[in-house]
A and B are shown apart, each in its own frame.
Chain A
Amino acid sequence: MYNQKKLAGTLGVALLLWFLIGYILYPALKTVVVSLTEDGTISLVHYSRFFASEANISPLVNSIFLGFLTVIVCGIIGTALAFFIHYFDFPGKSIIDKLLLLPLMLPGIVIVFAFVQLYGESGLITKSIEWLFGLESKPYNFSGLKGILFVHAYTQYVYFYISVSIAIKHIDYSVVESARNLGAAKTKIFTSIILPFISPALISSAIITFISGIGSFTAPSIIGGGYRVLTTQILLSKANNYMEVAATQVVILTGISLFLFSIFRNYEKRAVFTSSVKGVAIQAVPIKNPLVRFLMLSTAGLLIVTILLPVFAILLMSFVKSETLMVNIFPRQFTCENYLEIFTRSRKFAPFLNSISMALLASLLGLAIAIPSSYLIVKTKLKIKWLVEMLVMLPWAMPASAIAINIINAYNSPNFFSMNSVLVGTFILLPLGYFVRSIPLMVKTTSISFQNLNETYIEASKSLGASQIQTFRQIVLPMISPGLIAGFLLVFVRSIGEYTISVFLYTPSNKPVSIAVVNGIFEYNIGLAMAYGTLLILITTILSSMISKFSTASY
């Protein structure tokens, strides 16, 4: 009986490792091998060619430069917002606090097009400025580095905002008071107390933002114009079927990410400030001066407008007849045609259905892997758990374009992990990519469930006469399910509007909605594209609010 249990456990762990190695580690290694192969022999020629050509070096430099600028811009915005929200007391701050997280949940491709509709050459804001000031030419050039940075500023400040907010909330105010008691002035308090408290948050957010900055694909590919970065070059290589070149670019990009990510993990483990006793939380300062109060409220108002403007732009444009946009500067005629088209014509509805079913599949796969993985990591003392933890966290350091190339390289030929079949060109490739991209976040979410599941609850249930099955159904399941549901929805939300992996891996038979949005734009069917966008926003915001409800419901 006992041995049977043990055998089943060992088999389960083996199966989990087989899957994790097969779909996370092996594809990455396969890409390394491809990058080192020329005509069937091992060679460094792709690397020497890469570093010899200016055409390759400049995207690399551009990527790194973009990463740095993203960190600086997002660092300033995110940190300033965190202090603004948590240091001062003003009406509406809790709404803004929630709103500020919105850009994280909206599909990137939808945001990029919202920005194009607002600030692009014929964007609503651009045209309004031209009209207001009677300008002959456009007031600014949105495409290129500036445009990318603008989008990054909107989408990626969130890491800084969240982690600095948490750090501020954890500042023990009695430490500040004791510094004042010891005679420290306000600036001294900031540099000697506040800054050390938030600097771990700043450093880790900087690393994460840099990784996501250099891995960013959506904004550079749509509005990058002449500003070429490594991720867009990877797609170009893949499209031209230079898979060795693509592999080399992926290895270089992943190498940088992985290096920084390992620093981040090390840092994360060391730099945790814990106060030994329960501290006093920081008190938000109420603003009494009417002028300052007015300024604060205007800033808050402006923030709300800036955050919501892209959403309104999408919503507005989704009701516009695409043809009329050619004639009028501002949209005049509104219609529900775009929505009708999606819901009545099966060819237009298909991308939507595809995305839902593929996101669902990715989420289910995520659950199937995240539950045993987080259980193993949190609740057991197995020696093998470091490997499981490393494997599930690895995709965090992989840009989406790298994940896609890895999967292509690994599954364009039959092998042990795919049960001897070729997966490239099949439906499953996209959900697989979505799954790999989200598994680190999912495991983090589900791990919290298991951390909260204290052993004494199970013992208490048993001592009250409940059998193992009754205990599992009535105690364990209710305790872990909020975290599991939150994780499930998280993968779904991140997958349904996903663009980068989709553009690398989709086939005509499983075209996802993000690709349909892009196609719509390029066919000047803007209204339809925006209707897709609105539906995506609707789904992701509803599910996101459910996620936050479930994650706060964890015990």
Chain B
Amino acid sequence: MGAVVLKNIEKLYSDTIACTDINLSINEGEFFTFLGPSGCGKTTILRLIAGFVQPSKGTIHLGNRDITNLEAEKRQVGMVFQNYALFPFMTVAENIAYGLKIQKKSKQERAERVEKYTEMVGLSGFEHRNISELSGGEQQRVALARSLAIEPKVLLLDEPLSNLDARLRDRMRSEIKSLQKKLGITTIFVTHDQTEALTMSDRVAIFEKGRCIQIGPPEEIYAYPANSFVARFVGDTNLFAADIRNGKASLSDNVTINLETPAAGRFVSIRPQDIVFSTAEDNRKNVFPARVESIQFDGISVEYSVKVDDMSFRLVILNTSTFCHEITVGADVHIAIPGKSLKILEN
């Protein structure tokens, strides 16, 4: 049995469904991410686990214990809030010691733990600072230390990186991940940022409109999206409605792609990095004449938007040292779409 198990969870707010039919089993020590656009129900589920809201239906287990009706304060679940929710009238040390004081830990033990966790999050020497004297990143670390200090069974992180600037976000991402690995603590991370989800998680659950659509390791979700929503939301893609029969996918009258293995479905997803430029003489299959509409250079790669008749495709080419920038806007080119790069989706 998993560390956190949700069975048939449903939460209704008057007449709107916040989430429904949620079945999840999160393993001991796992870094598990809820990914989805805002309003998909991911935060509601996190708050259900924390105990701030009660499910309308279903059960929640923590280890072997049914905690569905247990008060939030008795769950031993640590939570880091989006706005950190640090108590503004307490110092860093007082914030971190708050939960320990509640647990009636001795003064000495509190001091030891405060020291341990401030050091762990890299804030040694900040113990007596006021919260208002801290930067966003430092506040984030205090929030993390505060929830870790009570040594919870599960750590919940509610979009903790969304208030940080891009560079700091990258750094905190790897710091949180390595901290989690070191402590081996079961962690549930809520985000709408696919990069965060893909880089940090052991497994990801994708939510849309209150339902869990797909659960799996990041590589699997990226490679085998369950539907067109997942394909678009996780990673960039070219998505088309297609007529698929006899081992061929027809995107339009002139674009028909031979598939590697026959499949059935109504949509195809092609990752932009799978499409490559080709020459007309190339006798490979699936080569189409195209015209370059726009070029966007971002350092690591170059993104081309090309049109085959009326169909737009996006290609991403890695900017390696051998890359040549010959292709310009308006140029007539050929693109090759390997048959095995097509993901056939039912809906």
A463–B89 contact, CB under 8 A?
Answer: no
B102–A465 contact, CB under 8 A?
Answer: yes
B85–A457 contact, CB under 8 A?
Answer: yes
Cα distance A466–B75 in the bound complex, in angstroms: 11
B21 to chain A: closest CB distance in Å? 26
Q: Return the contact of B98 from the options A454, A461, A467, A555 (Cβ within 8 A).
A: A461
Q: Which residues of A contact B76 (CB under 8 A)?
A: 465
B89–A478 contact, CB under 8 A?
Answer: yes
Of chain A, the residue at the smallest CB distance from B78 is A463
A463–B98 contact, CB under 8 A?
Answer: no
A465–B50 contact, CB under 8 A?
Answer: no
Chain A interface residue number, banded: 20 to 34
Cα distance A73–B134 in the bound complex, in angstroms: 46
Q: Which residues of A contact B89 (CB under 8 A)?
A: 478-479, 555
B182 lies within 8 A of chain A by Cβ: no
Q: Return the contact of B52 from the options A457, A462, A467, A468 (Cβ within 8 A).
A: A462
Of the listed residues A457, A459, A460, the one surrounded by the most CB atoms of chain B closer than 10 A to its CB is A460
A463–B87 contact, CB under 8 A?
Answer: no
Interface residues of A in 434-470 (CB under 8 A from B): 454, 456-457, 459-468, 470
A443 to chain B: closest CB distance in Å? 23
Cα distance A454–B50 in the bound complex, in angstroms: 18
Q: Which residues of A contact B71 (CB under 8 A)?
A: 462
Cα distance A277–B270 in the bound complex, in angstroms: 39
Q: How many residues of B contact A (CB 8 A)?
A: 27
Q: Which residues of A contact B81 (CB under 8 A)?
A: 456, 459-460
Interface residues of A in 463-504 (CB under 8 A from B): 463-468, 470-471, 474-475, 478-479
Cα distance A470–B101 in the bound complex, in angstroms: 11
Q: Which residues of A contact B85 (CB under 8 A)?
A: 454, 456-457, 459-460
Q: Which residues of B contact A459 (CB under 8 A)?
A: 50, 52, 72, 79, 81, 85
B337 to chain A: closest CB distance in Å? 44
Interface residues of B in 43-63 (CB under 8 A from A): 50-52
B88 lies within 8 A of chain A by Cβ: yes
B232 to chain A: closest CB distance in Å? 30
Cα distance A467–B51 in the bound complex, in angstroms: 13
Q: Which residues of B contact A474 (CB under 8 A)?
A: 98
A307 to chain B: closest CB distance in Å? 32
Of chain A, the residue at the smallest CB distance from B158 is A456
B124 to chain A: closest CB distance in Å? 22
A463–B102 contact, CB under 8 A?
Answer: no
B315 lies within 8 A of chain A by Cβ: no
Of chain B, the residue at the smallest CB distance from A466 is B102
Interface residues of A in 360-393 (CB under 8 A from B): none
B257 to chain A: closest CB distance in Å? 47
Q: Which residues of B contact A464 (CB under 8 A)?
A: 73, 78, 98-99, 102, 146-147, 150
B114 lies within 8 A of chain A by Cβ: no
Given A459-B85, A474-B98, A467 contacting B79 (CB threshold 8 A)? no
Given A457-B87, A555-B88, A462 contacting B51 (CB threshold 8 A)? yes
A460 to chain B: closest CB distance in Å? 4
Q: Return the contact of A460 from the options B51, B74, B79 (Cβ within 8 A).
A: B79
B77 lies within 8 A of chain A by Cβ: yes
B83–A456 contact, CB under 8 A?
Answer: yes
B83–A463 contact, CB under 8 A?
Answer: no
Q: Which residues of A contact B147 (CB under 8 A)?
A: 463-464
B321 lies within 8 A of chain A by Cβ: no
Cα distance A457–B75 in the bound complex, in angstroms: 17
A463–B88 contact, CB under 8 A?
Answer: no
Interface residues of A in 131-189 (CB under 8 A from B): none
Cα distance A416–B118 in the bound complex, in angstroms: 61
Of chain A, the residue at the smallest CB distance from B77 is A463
B106 lies within 8 A of chain A by Cβ: no
Q: Which residues of B contact A454 (CB under 8 A)?
A: 83, 85
Interface residues of B in 114-158 (CB under 8 A from A): 146-147, 150, 156
B113 to chain A: closest CB distance in Å? 13
Of chain A, the residue at the smallest CB distance from B99 is A464
Cα distance A460–B98 in the bound complex, in angstroms: 10
A456 to chain B: closest CB distance in Å? 4
B73–A462 contact, CB under 8 A?
Answer: yes
B103 lies within 8 A of chain A by Cβ: yes
Of chain A, the residue at the smallest CB distance from B47 is A459
Cα distance A462–B99 in the bound complex, in angstroms: 9
Cα distance A555–B85 in the bound complex, in angstroms: 12
A281 to chain B: closest CB distance in Å? 18
B102 to chain A: closest CB distance in Å? 5
Given A459-B79, A475-B87, A555-B88, A465 contacting B51 (CB threshold 8 A)? no
Interface residues of B in 90-104 (CB under 8 A from A): 98-99, 102-103
Q: Which residues of B contact A465 (CB under 8 A)?
A: 73-74, 76, 99, 102-103, 150
A173 to chain B: closest CB distance in Å? 24
Of chain A, the residue at the smallest CB distance from B88 is A555
Cα distance A370–B50 in the bound complex, in angstroms: 33
Given A456-B85, A457-B87, A460-B79, A467 contacting B50 (CB threshold 8 A)? no
Q: Which residues of B contact A462 (CB under 8 A)?
A: 51-52, 71-73
B155 to chain A: closest CB distance in Å? 10
B227 to chain A: closest CB distance in Å? 34
Q: Which residues of A contact B50 (CB under 8 A)?
A: 459, 463
Q: Which residues of A contact B98 (CB under 8 A)?
A: 461, 464, 466, 474
Q: Which residues of B contact A479 (CB under 8 A)?
A: 87-89
Cα distance A464–B145 in the bound complex, in angstroms: 12
B14 to chain A: closest CB distance in Å? 13
B287 to chain A: closest CB distance in Å? 49
Cα distance A494–B14 in the bound complex, in angstroms: 47
Cα distance A478–B88 in the bound complex, in angstroms: 10
Cα distance A457–B98 in the bound complex, in angstroms: 12
Contact with A along B13-41 (1 / 0, CB 8 A): 00000000000000000000000000000
Cα distance A16–B81 in the bound complex, in angstroms: 35
B76 to chain A: closest CB distance in Å? 7
Of chain B, the residue at the smallest CB distance from A468 is B73
A151 to chain B: closest CB distance in Å? 41
Q: Which residues of A contact B146 (CB under 8 A)?
A: 464
Q: List 21 A-B contacts (CB under 8 A).
A: A457-B85, A459-B52, A459-B72, A459-B81, A460-B86, A460-B87, A461-B73, A462-B52, A462-B72, A463-B73, A463-B77, A463-B147, A463-B156, A464-B98, A464-B102, A464-B146, A465-B73, A465-B74, A465-B99, A465-B102, A466-B102
Show the binding face of A for B, using Cβ within 8 Å.
454, 456-457, 459-468, 470-471, 474-475, 478-479, 555
- Not counting A460-B81, A466-B102, a sample of 11 additional A-B residue pairs whose C-beta atoms are within 8 angstroms of each other reads A456-B81, A459-B85, A462-B51, A462-B52, A462-B71, A464-B73, A466-B98, A468-B73, A479-B87, A479-B88, A479-B89
Show the binding face of B for A, using Cβ within 8 Å.
50-52, 71-79, 81, 83, 85-89, 98-99, 102-103, 146-147, 150, 156
> Can you list the 3 inter-chain pairs with the closest CB atoms, starting with the nearest?
A464-B99, A460-B85, A456-B85
